[in-house]
Amino acid sequence: MSGPLDILQPPGWPAPRGYSNGMAGRGRTVLVGGQIGWDETGRIAQGFVAQTEQALRNILAVLAEAGGGPEHIGRLTWYVVDMDEYRACLPELGRAYRAVMGRNFPAMALVGVVALAEPEARLEIEATAIIPD
């Protein structure tokens, strides 16, 4: 193991950038429900990158309740309402991601959706983590 989780990379496959093809680990599984870019008062951040940063902070706050951190996240699923908006801010988004998550790049999926439950939300992210015994 290189850390709390093993990165799964089939031989000969190109190395993914900003995510992993797969992760494996043993321990307590923590499922974090979809988080949006609102703070503890219910205020939603303005802009895609700011909402992403807050949603990731929210994931880490929930995960901390189980004694975990970003290094324990094995999977993130992102739901975005505007794929063009996502693509337009990739460099800034990468910087914001690393500011919150460090250099932890779990398996990820990105899904375009028509709408989210909160009309102002630009994205929602859910996480699966494994905290070693």
- Is 13 within the bounds of a domain? no
Question: Total structural domains in the chain?
Answer: 1
Residue 15 domain-assigned? no
- CA-CA distance, 131 to 73, in Å (whole number)? 8
pLDDT higher than threshold 70 for residue 2: no
CA–CA dist 100, 90 (Å, integer): 15
The better pLDDT of the pair 121, 3 is held by 121
Domain that holds residue 112: 30-131
In which region does residue 75 sit, left (phi positive, over 0), alpha (psi from -120 to 50) or beta (all else)? beta
Q: What would the mean pLDDT of 36-49 be, rounded to a whole number?
A: 97
Q: What CATH number did the domain enclosing 58 receive?
A: 3.30.1330.40
Write down the pLDDT at residue 35: 98
- 63-111 pLDDT tens trace: 999 999 999 999 999 999 999 999 999 999 999 999 999 999 999 999 9
